[in-house]
Every structure is written in structure tokens, then in C-alpha cells.
Amino acid sequence: MKSRSLKDTIVSYLFCAPAYLIFTIFIFVPIIWSFILSFTDYSLLTFGKPEFVGLANYIELFKDPVFLRAVLNTIYYSILYVPTTLVIGFIFALMLNDDFPGRNFFRLSMFIPVVVPMVVASIVWMLILSAHPTSLANRLLGLFGIPPKGWLTDPKLAMLSVAMVMVWKTFGYKMLLYLAAMQSIPYELYESAELDGATGWKKTIYITIPLLKPTTFFLVVTSVIDSFQIFTPIYIMTGGGPGYATTTLVNYLYEKGFKEFEMGYASAISYVLFLMLIILTFIQKKGFGSEEIF
Amino acid sequence: MRRIILVFVIFLLAITALQAKQITFWFAGGDPKTDLPLVKKYIEEFEKATGIKVKFVVIPWAEDPHTKIQVAIASGKAPDLIKLGSPFEHVLAKFGVLEPLDKYIPEDVLKKFIPSVLEESRYHANSPRYLKGKLISIPYFTDVRTILYRKDIFQERGVPDPIDWTWDDFVKYAKKLTFDRDGDGKIDVYGFGTSARYRSQWIVFSWQAGGRILDENDRPVVNSKEFLEGAEFFWKLFNEYRVVQPGAINVHLWDVRKLLAEGKVAMYVDCGDSAKVLKEELGEKLGVGLLPKHPVTGKRTAFSGADAFVIPRQSRYKEEAAKLLLWLIEKDRMLEYCKVSGFLPARVDAAQDPFFKEDPIKAMYLKQLEDSRGWIKHPEASFISRTLGVAMQDALTGKKSIKDAFEQAQKEIEKYLRKKGYIK
């Protein structure tokens, strides 16, 4: 019995081993290695040992106006993106939770942008949001007598446009999770509320939203993390410009690490980003209180 | 019996190891419909002629091949031969990862290259010492960005061909070419299509005015009177003359090309491969001109670039890689490649082919090449490029004046180069 138990344990570990091995090689080791690199002067092309520079990269970071601008831009993007994608995802989930003809078609339609590759979506939206008066977005504005806008070329509009594209791209995923969570809410709760005279709106406010708290917490945390790691649409649509108007932390990190060959400095940026995300997640957890509802 | 089998296996492995001399060739860019099939054909012929196997890997520009090259070198798996976009080889050379090519390329072959183009392949920085003055790359083709224009729109507005013209003519014509065709009160055609996202689109005006990015001691001089004159001229096209299309501050150049094809801009500045694509689409409506001359210096300097071959130091088969390199730069192959791709050959004998002399588009590109300049070869070119690009965009969006934007760029570049030890 004892030996069988040992055998089972070994077999269990063996089953887990590939996953842990992949995690260790491709995630854990790079995390530790980039932490070490953040204290060095290092380029990908440097042979031999990276030169240890202590906290110099971190000190330099906080004197670097472009880095500080990138931090502000990232926060601004996150403020634009996170609440909007969650609210729209929730509203669509609410609408598509009802039973009506063609419901599955609409659910599928809302989810399509999620599976469209980011690069493809960025290029298509670039064409839609072109500053030329004949672009689709500007033609639509023209119908209401509004003059054409430089969606991606006006520094005041560029980040807003990127956030809008990302909301379109991701709200379907939020909708899907909200839908799944809504369907797990016991129907008796709504029935008893109806007996007490609750209307549709009140049921949403007092039953649906509170019971979706764990899902909302999960979505807020993951959306904030996603928003702080925004890269591809900015890289393709605006290149971080005009000026530094849409340069975010990861775009700047990429610029420093791969274009200007300062991998140590780029690693320091990534660790500041990591620290910011840990602090934000902690604050969110405190803000939401206990996840246990039932 | 076992022993016999073992010996046989070892023998087979040894034979295989001896025969399997395979080199890896990375090719940045290329068009799968035009030039890449040709390169594949050359490689197949090379394999047959030499017995050397070639693993051919194409990395489109959209996949950022230069970053992939860095990663490959960092992981110790550099290919044996690389075709990349110049001046990236100068950045690689700074880190000592390239093999000097002087000993692999016979002197009589080198003599066939356009001297100014070949000179761009020599390394002039002090570090690493073993590369100073050496050939770090071999140019494959060169290209220059000149004026592409819509002949039909020029004729419609009574504007002469943009061949021998000055900055003043350029402004006069661009204004005339910016017009409302259907009388609805909105501009339908813009005189000049451009994008401030690309340094190459505006730096030429600073060069034409006599400005430079770095002086002979590698100190930045982007706040010089001449440099600012060129930058301000570009700024005025947006804000004073108002002849550029909306969104020109940060669009992709392919978007501008599309606008020219649609007849929404009358002219713009681009390379020979774009001219080839546009020619197929527009036919005789497409014209190729020369950049306007500065009224005082008389210069019409254009931005030129090249794609070049390099051999990484890590390569285990440098001799074989050099053989393939020589195979590809052979006159007839280079000529055929350039005919198909739309670029200009880096060899004088190939460039003298009647195809380039007689074709009006190619002839104009060759003419513009006579007064052209490549991007700076400084190892910190990426930082300098980013800083200059932001300065121009900040000025165009009204965040700063041209003078303030480039004064700040001057300070930032100076500070950075000092920190990196390039200047004192």
C-alpha cells in the first residue's frame, strides 16, 4: 500500500513535470534573469558578463522625462479603457442574457472581435480612423456636420482612439464572463425580489451587480494588467506618436531594449511596471473587500 | 555482429556529418510575388553548382527582422549570411558581432561597386578596433527617395514636370495642386503627400540647406541655422502653405502611397519599389521627378538607403557564406534582381545596363542618386532618430516652436552621447 502510494506520487509528479519544466524555463528563469539584468548595463549583443551598475538604471529612470510621460500615458490609457470595456461588456451581457430570437447570433457577433488577430484589427482600424476626410470614421462624422478628425494623428485624440479600438476588441470577452456568471445566479433570488415588488432595474442593482462581484473583481484585475501591458495596437497604429502622445511603458521598454540596445534599462522599466501592477492589484483587492458572497 | 553494426552506424554518421554542410541565409524583406522566387531560384542553382545546402529564411519587414537578428546572435544561433537594411550593420559592428569581409571579396569584384555606395559599408568608428576601416557589409542594392507624382493632375492644374525646380517653385506648385475639384468647398486634392513619422521625409530639406545631424567630431548640430531652415520649411508646408494632406503628422507611408494612387495627393516622396507598384496601377499617369533644389546651395539632396549582406562572426561556415554572397552579387544576377524588385543595383556595371538608362523612371532615380545621402552611421543612431522625430512632431502639433523643439533635441542628444562616452 505504502509503495503504491509512493508510486502514485511519483507518477503525479511526472505528469506535472512538463508543465513545471516549461514554466521554469520560459517564465520563471526569464523573470529572475531580467531582474538581475535590471542592475546591469547590458545589450542583447553584448558578449561576456553584463556590467553591474547597481541601482543606476532605476535612478536614471526617475530622471527620464520620457519614462515619466510613458507612465502617465499608461495610466491615462488604463482609465479610458478599463471602465469602458467592463461597462460595455456588462451591458451586452445583461441584454443577451434574456431569451429572444437570434440571441446566439448576437452573442457570437459580439465575441468575433476577440478572436480577430490584434495586428489585423489594428490595420483595419487604422484605415477606418484615417485622418483623411474620406475615411469611414470621418464620413460618419460628416453625416452630422462634424468636420474630419485626426483620430490617430491628433495628440489629444490618439490615445482615446487606441482605447476605443481596444474596447471594441475585448468587450466580448468581458461579456462572455459576465454572461456565464449571470447564469449561475439562482433564479429564486429574482423570484423572491419580484414578490417583494422589485422592478427589472432594481433587480439588476440589488441582485445581479452584487452577485457578480467576484467576476467584476477578476475582470478589473486582469483588465488593469492588460491595459498596463498595451503594446501591439500602439506599435502598429501610432508608433507611440505623435511626439510621445501614445508612448506607453511597454512601447518605451521595447524602444530602449530592442532599438537602442539598453536591455538593462529596459529590464528596470519592466520591474517598475511589475511593481506598479502588484500595488494596483493589492489596492483593488482591498477596494473590493472579500470575494465571498454566498 | 553488434560491433559491425556499430562501426557501420558511426561510419554513416561521419559521412553524413561531412556532407551536411548547410548554411543558413536570412533575408530581411522581399516580395513573395516578385523578387523572392528569383532569390530562391539563385539559391537552388548555387546548391547544384557547389553542393552546399542553403536553409533560406525570409523575414518580412513587418516582422521586425532586425530584432530577430539580435535575438539570434544573443542566443548564439546567428545565421551564416544575412541580408539586412543598412545602416543596421553599423550597429551590429559596434558590438563586434560581424566578420570583416575584405578577405572574402576579391578586389576586382569590389572595384565594380558604386564607390559612394560601397563606402557606406566601411566601418569608421574607433571601437571595436579590429573593424576600423574594414568592410562590414556588401551592398546588394541601393535606393533613393525621390518625387513620385500624378502627371494627369499636374496637367490638369497646368504645372510643369517637377524636374528642375527650386523650393520656391515647389511651394508655388504645391499650392496650385491643392484644390477643390468639385466646388463643394472642400479640398479634394492636396499638393504634397508626406508623413512626419519618417525622418527621411523631412531631413532632406535640412541637408539641402546645408545642415547636418552630426559634425565631423560626431557632435550633434541639429540646432544650426541651416538645419533649422530645412526643418522650418517642412513645418511651413503644414502650417503656413497648408499643402499637405490631413493626418500627415503621423501616418504610414503606404497610406500616402494609397492617396497618390487614388488621386487625393498630387505628389509625394518614395523609393523605387513603390514606383514599380504604382506604375502597374497608374500606368502613364505616374511620373517620377527630382527633389526641388535649395535656392542658395543648389542642392537637391535625397535620402538614400541600401540593403546589404553581412556575415556574423558566430558563423561556422564563413567561407561557404561568402561563396553564396559572391554568387548573389554576380553582375547578371544582381541586374535581374533589381529589374524585378524595382531597386537600383549597387554595381556600376549593372547600373549601366540600358534597362536603367532607357527606362524614364529608373533613369530619374539614378539621376537623383547622384545627389543623395544615407542616414547617419553612428552606433546611437536609433536614439538620435527617435529624438529628432519627436522634435519635429512636437513642432508640428504646436507643442513647441521649431527652434525650441530642436534646441531641446540638441541638448538631449548631446547629453546622451556624453553619457555614452562618444563626446566629452
Statement: B146-303+378-419 belongs to CATH 1.10.3720.10: no
**pLDDT band per the 50, 70, 90 thresholds, residue A2:** low
- Quick check: B309 pLDDT over 90? yes
Residue of B140, B135, B113 lying closest to B124 (CA atoms): B135
Q: Contact at 8 Å (CB) between B294 and B208? A: yes
pLDDT (0 to 100) of residue B139: 93
For every residue of B92-116, which 3-state class applies, written as one string? HHHCCCECCCCCCCCHHHHCCECHH
**What pLDDT, on the 0 to 100 scale, is given for residue B379?**
80
How large is the C-alpha radius of gyration of chain A? Answer: 24
Q: Which of B91, B245, B249 has the highest number of chain A CBs within 10 A, making it the mutation to test binding with A?
A: B249
Helix or strand holding residue A283 (H, E): helix A263-288
Minimum distance, in Å, between the CA of residue B278 and any CA atom of chain A? 19
User: Using the beta-carbon criterion (under 8 Å), do B393 and A259 form an inter-chain contact?
Assistant: no
Task: Please give the pLDDT value at position A241.
Answer: 82
Tens digits of per-residue pLDDT, B24-73? 999 999 888 889 999 999 999 999 999 999 999 999 987 889 989 988 98
Band (B13; pLDDT cuts 50, 70, 90): low
Pairing of strands B138-144, B302-310: antiparallel
| Alpha-carbon dihedral sign for residues B316, B320, B325, B328 | negative
How confident is the model at residue B404, as a pLDDT? 96
pLDDT digits (tens, 9 = 90+) for B401-411: 999 999 999 99
Mean pLDDT of A18-30: 92
Residue A214: domain span: 56-288
Residues whose CB is less than 8 angstroms from the CB of residue B203 and which lie 6 or more positions away in sequence, other chains included: B213, B230, B303, B388
Q: Which residues contact A179 (CB under 8 A, 6 or more apart)?
A: A93, A96, A97, A107
Torsions phi, psi of B194, nearest 5? -155, 180
Q: Where are the alpha helices (DSSP H) in A97-146?
A: 103-115, 118-128, 136-143
B247 → closest Cβ in A131, A244, A255: A131
Element (H, E) at A40: strand A40-41
pLDDT band at B115 (very low <50, low <70, confident <90, very high): confident
CA–CA gap between residue B387 and residue B209 (Å, rounded) = 21
pLDDT tops 60 at residue A292: no
CB contact under 8 A, A44 and B251: no
List residues in chain B touching A: CB distance below 8 A.
64, 67, 70-71, 73-74, 91-92, 95-97, 186, 196-197, 245-252, 255, 259, 264, 380, 382-383, 386, 389-390, 393-394, 396-397, 399
CA distances from B390 to A241, A246, B196, B249, B416 (A): 8, 12, 9, 11, 16
Residue from the list A45, A155, A239 with its beta carbon closest to the beta carbon of B197: A239
**What is the C-alpha to C-alpha distance for residues A43 and B74, in angstroms, rounded to an integer?**
9
Count of alpha carbons within 13 Å of B301, Cβ hemisphere only? 21
C-alpha cell at B137: 557589409
pLDDT score of B47? 94
CA atoms within 13 A on the CB side of B295: 7
**Torsion-angle region of A197 (φ positive above 0: left; ψ -120 to 50: alpha; else: beta):** left
- The reply to whether A134 falls in a domain is yes
C-alpha cell at B110: 569590389
Overall size of chain B counted in residues: 424
- Return the bridge partners of A34, or none: none
- Contacts (Cβ under 8 Å, ≥6 apart) of B58: B27, B30, B32, B36
Look up the CATH number of the domain holding residue A155: 1.10.3720.10
B198 burial level (CB within 10 Å; 0-12, 13-18, 19+): buried
In this model, does residue A235 exceed pLDDT 90?
Answer: yes
- Beta carbons of B391 and A147 less than 8 angstroms apart: no
Beta A51-52 vs A40-41: how paired, if at all? antiparallel
A256: nearest CA in chain B?
B383
| Residues ≥6 apart with Cβ < 8 Å to A271 | A34, A35, A38
For the beta carbon of residue B285, count every other beta carbon within 10 angstroms: 18
What's domain B2-143+305-369's architecture?
A: 3-Layer(aba) Sandwich (3.40)
d(CA A263, CA B377) in angstroms, rounded, equals 21
pLDDT per residue over B278-295, tens digit each? 999 999 999 999 999 999
- Look at residue A225 and tell me if it is in a domain: yes
Residue B245 is nearest to which of A126, A132, A238, comparing CB atoms?
Answer: A132
Q: What does pTM read for this prediction?
A: 0.85
Cβ–Cβ < 8 Å for B146, B274: no
Is A44 close to B246, i.e. CB distance below 8 A? no
Residue B78, pLDDT > 60, answer yes
> Do residues B317 and B325 touch, judged by C-beta distance below 8 A?
no
Beta strand residue intervals within B209-255, DSSP E: none
Query: Distance between alpha carbon A179 and the CA centroid of its chain, in Å?
Result: 19
Q: What is the pLDDT of residues B88-104, one digit of tens each?
A: 898 888 888 999 999 99
- Nearest Cα residue in chain A from B67: A258
Decide the pairing of beta strands B372-373 and B302-310: parallel
| Total domain count, chain A | 1
Residue identified by cell 551536411 is B20
Q: Tell me the pLDDT tens digit for each residue of B331-352.
A: 999 999 999 888 889 998 998 8
Across residues B239-254, what is the average pLDDT?
93
| Residue A243: partners with Cβ closer than 8 Å, 6 or more residues away | A155, B390, B393, B394, B397, B399
Q: Give the separation between CA B207 and CA B204, rounded to whole angstroms.
A: 5
CA distance B423 to B221: 13
Q: Would the CB atoms of A134 and B246 count as touching at under 8 Å?
A: no
CB pairs under 8 A between A and B: 86
How far apart (Å, rounded) are the C-alpha atoms in residues B392 and B149? 25
Bridge-partner residues for B143, per DSSP? B305
Q: Are B257 and B270 in contact (CB under 8 A)?
A: yes
Query: A5 in a domain, yes or no?
Result: no
Distance CA B398, CA A273 (A): 31
B377 versus A162: the higher-pLDDT residue is A162
Cell of B218: 560626431
Cis amide bond preceding B345, omega within 30:
no
Mutation pick from A61, A129, A261 vs chain B, by most beta carbons of B within 10 Å, is A261
DSSP characters over A228-249:
HT--HHHHHHTTT-STTTT--H
Residue B9 binned pLDDT confidence (cut-offs 50, 70, 90): low
Q: Which amino acid is at A5?
A: S
Query: Is the CA virtual torsion A143, A148, A153, A159 positive or negative?
Result: negative
DSSP state of B251: -
User: Is A169 a domain residue?
Assistant: yes
Q: Are B327 and B46 in contact (CB under 8 A)?
A: yes
ipTM: 0.83
Q: Would you kindly state where each structural domain of chain B is located, as residue ranges? A: 2-143+305-369, 146-303+378-419
Residue A146 identity (one-letter amino acid): I
Question: How high is the pLDDT of residue B20?
Answer: 58
Say how many Å lie between the first and final Cα of chain B, rounded: 75
Binned at pLDDT 50, 70 and 90, residue A294 comes out as very low
Whether A51 maps to a domain, the answer reads: no
List of chain A residues whose C-beta atoms are within 8 Å of the C-beta of residue B399: 155, 243
DSSP structural state of residue A48: S
* Whole-number percent of chain A with pLDDT over 90: 67
User: Is residue A36's pLDDT more than 80?
Assistant: yes
